[in-house]
Structure 1
Amino acid sequence: MRRFGRTVVTAALAVAVVAGTAGWASGDSQRAVTGPPPGTEAWRADTVAGRTPPDPASAPPAGVARFFAGLDAAALRYLVRVHPLVVGNLEGAPLPLRYEANRIAVTATGDPRYAALAAPDRQVLAFDPRGRGQVAEVFGDLEHAAHVSVVVPGADNDASTHDARRAPHTGPAGMARTLRAAAGGDTAVIAWTGYTTPVGVGLDAAVGRLADAGAERLARFTAGLDAVGAPDPVLFCHSYGSVVCGLAARRTDAADVVVLGSPGMRADTSAALRTRARVWAARSPSDWIADIPNVEFAGLGHGADPTSAAFGARRVPAADVRGHTGYFAPGTQSLAAFAAIANGEVR
């Protein structure tokens, strides 16, 4: 009973801290974008080369890869031209085909917020304009990479802010670019803003509803990488993104899961994640996330601190990191460690 009482008190403290530091009113409740992309019904009703295309909602990515391997160039051009939103988001489809399809899909929106993503040198691996928009972008040569990393961001990220002007090592695209530069030529890095993130430090950020939906999408995304022959990825999960990675970990083939500025992974220990991946954790001494109590009670909070000794993750040095968004800053101990993990140099 005494232990239960302490839990209740700690949960109440968590409510007070969240309300006092940011206020739940500062975060608007978000509706998670789930399911297959727009255009799916037309895709299902179509045929190509006398074959029915795989269902985006249910076909395993490996089956999607086999379907595309059996098509000639004319059939591939037809699918990209007629169904760009489906092809561009279809896990298991050939990578160059997805890049081309997403250039078409981005241009077709006519939305100036996304226009830069359609540039010839951008490698957009996924684009979904629903809601606030979702996007995944590749930095490096994913087709021939020896190592692959995926950056999973936290709150306040979407397709329009994915590459917004800010400190160059922050934001999904900024973190991915910086890691790619530090890791070197045979490593590809993907900025994956592929789920509906919370807005502000509100109730959405304090519960796991959006993370649950994001974890399902992340698991399918990594299965798609496997289907096209990419190496097992390293997941770099920032802030609320670490909640997504915690829930997805057992359903991915990730080689490593690295969390930074994490409020918790919805698990008491790294073993409870039920993953074969090595689990790493970093937290800056000046990161405000340390002020959020690590509890999970009645759906509120995300559990144990991944940087605590009891959690059992490997520690990433972060003593010189400034604040909540400085983990990828050039010259920091954390970025050097991230690059070594991304390149498989740490055993």
Structure 2
Amino acid sequence: MRRFGRTLVTAALAVTVVGGTAGWASGESQSAVTGPPPGTAAWRADTAHGRALPDPAAATPHEVARFFAGLDDAARSALVRTHPLVVGNLDGAPVALRYEANRLAVAATGEARYASLAAPDRRILAFDPRGRGQVAEVFGDLEHAAHVSVIVPGSDNDATSYDALRAPHTGPVGMARALLTATGGSATDAAVAGGSATDAAVAGGSAADAAVAVIAWTGYTTPVGVGLDAADGRLAAAGAPRLARFTAGLDAVGAPDPALFCHSYGSVVCGLAARHTDASDIVAFGSPGMRADTADALHTGARVWAARGPSDWIADVPNVSFAGVGHGADPTSAAFGARRVPAADVRGHAGYFTPGTRSLAAFAAIAKGEVR
């Protein structure tokens, strides 16, 4: 009974700390956006050359890829024009078609807050305007990359804030650009969409630009603030299947197995998705826990890494799991069994991609497949 009482106190403390750490206001409860994108009903009713279109909810990404492989260019273009929101979010569809479809989908919203996403030089791999909005963007040349990394962010990230001004090297965009630059790629994305390493050099980049592509994936409904949504696993449980399907879509179009870089609450999503992805590496940093007691309990063939800086406030969040509250063991603990990423020079909760830090250097080595 005494032990049960201590557990209750610890769980209550977890809610208190998560709700109040660093002066952040407790966030309002969010409704997770799940299921296929808007326009799915019209897509299901349509055909291409008399063939039924793959169901966005039921078809696997590999089935989607095989379907598009059997279409000519005219049929593909017609589907992009008629169903941009579906094609743009359809895992397994050709990458270049998704870029084109999402430019059309973003423009069609007519909303100023999304206008920058429709710029010709953006490579938007997913865009869903429902709720606060979700978006995934490619930095580098995904179609020719030898290595792919995916940034999975934590709280307060969505399509409405995606292009908002932030401290350098933070947020999904800042992290993706910093990682690409650290791997030797071009932060200005010199390569044209659908181009080759040669195209990149002609455009002012280099052949090295094609070696690594980084995707900023804000593809799930994140918590707002650091309140109860951030302390429980409901939104992570809704986001994990979306991340797993997204990585399956990368596999379906021939991309290399990705390295997942999972920040804060994003590491909870990665922990729940781990067994369902073909990731080569899963890196948890600034993590409140991964909903597993050990790295082995993630049931993944990926190498599991963890980092936490000395001044990261996440260390003040108790690593408990009780009645759905808390995310369990500290991934940086020896008992968890993850490989440690050096982070002694990281400042705060969002400084892991700051140029010159040991964490960013280690992340770049992981992204380039240089660590075994």
CA contact (8 A) 1:163 1:172 kept: no
After superposition, what is the alpha-carbon deviation per residue over 1:175-203, rounded to whole angstroms, capped at 9, x for unaligned? 00110111122100000000000000111
1:133 counterpart residue number: 133
Deviates more, 1:6-15 or 1:124-133: 6-15
User: Which of residues 272, 282, 302 in structure 2 aligns to 1:257?
Assistant: 282
1:120 counterpart residue number: 120
Summarize the Cα distance change of 1:20–1:128 in structure 2 as closer, same or farther, 3 Å threshold. closer
Helix, strand or coil at the partner of 1:222:
helix
CA contact (8 A) 2:231 2:325 kept: yes
Helix, strand or coil at the partner of 1:26:
coil
Helix, strand or coil at the partner of 1:249:
helix
One-letter code aligned to 1:302: H
Summarize the Cα distance change of 1:334–1:24 in structure 2 as closer, same or farther, 3 Å threshold. closer
- What is the rounded CA distance, in whole Å, between the counterparts of 2:160 and 2:5 in structure 1? 44
2:99 counterpart residue number: 99
Shift of 1:11: 1.5
2:215 counterpart residue number: 190
1:174 counterpart residue number: 174
CA contact (8 A) 1:127 1:134 kept: yes
1:276 counterpart residue number: 301
Counting only pairs closer than 5 Å after superposition, residues 231-246 of structure 1 correspond to structure 2 as 231-246=256-271
1:296 counterpart residue number: 321
One-letter code aligned to 1:209: R
After superposition, what is the alpha-carbon deviation per residue over 1:305-327, rounded to whole angstroms, capped at 9, x for unaligned? 00000000000001111100100
Deviates more, 1:173-182 or 1:25-34: 25-34
The answer to whether residue 339 in structure 2 is matched with residue 314 in structure 1 is yes
One-letter code aligned to 1:117: L
Identity of aligned residues (%): 82
Shift of 1:119: 0.7
- What is the rounded CA distance, in whole Å, between the counterparts of 2:22 and 2:349 in structure 1? 15
The answer to whether residue 249 in structure 2 is matched with residue 224 in structure 1 is yes
- What is the rounded CA distance, in whole Å, between the counterparts of 1:117 and 1:85 in structure 2? 14
CA contact (8 A) 1:216 1:248 kept: yes
One-letter code aligned to 1:265: M
One-letter code aligned to 1:276: G
The answer to whether residue 43 in structure 2 is matched with residue 43 in structure 1 is yes
Deviates more, 1:4-13 or 1:207-216: 4-13
One-letter code aligned to 1:64: V
One-letter code aligned to 1:213: A
CA contact (8 A) 2:139 2:177 kept: yes
- What is the rounded CA distance, in whole Å, between the counterparts of 1:4 and 1:140 in structure 2? 51
Q: Which runs of 5+ in 2 are unaligned?
A: 185-208
1:147 counterpart residue number: 147
- What is the rounded CA distance, in whole Å, between the counterparts of 2:214 and 2:154 in structure 1? 17
Runs of 4+ in 1 over 6 A off after TM superposition: 22-25
Deviates more, 1:16-25 or 1:160-169: 16-25
Shift of 1:22: 6.5
CA contact (8 A) 2:19 2:228 kept: no
Helix, strand or coil at the partner of 2:150:
strand
- What is the rounded CA distance, in whole Å, between the counterparts of 2:173 and 2:153 in structure 1? 10
CA contact (8 A) 2:15 2:228 kept: no
CA contact (8 A) 2:151 2:262 kept: yes
Q: Which runs of 5+ in 1 are unaligned?
A: none
- What is the rounded CA distance, in whole Å, between the counterparts of 2:20 and 2:368 in structure 1? 41
Counting only pairs closer than 5 Å after superposition, residues 2-41 of structure 1 correspond to structure 2 as 2-21=2-21, 26-41=26-41
The answer to whether residue 241 in structure 2 is matched with residue 203 in structure 1 is no
CA contact (8 A) 1:64 1:93 kept: yes
Shift of 1:10: 1.8
Aligned residues: 347
RMSD (Å), alpha carbons? 1.2
Summarize the Cα distance change of 1:254–1:192 in structure 2 as closer, same or farther, 3 Å threshold. same
- What is the rounded CA distance, in whole Å, between the counterparts of 2:270 and 2:20 in structure 1? 27
- What is the rounded CA distance, in whole Å, between the counterparts of 1:19 and 1:229 in structure 2? 42
Shift of 1:5: 3.9
Shift of 1:159: 0.5
- What is the rounded CA distance, in whole Å, between the counterparts of 1:16 and 1:141 in structure 2? 44
TM-score by length of 2: 0.91
- What is the rounded CA distance, in whole Å, between the counterparts of 2:142 and 2:25 in structure 1? 41
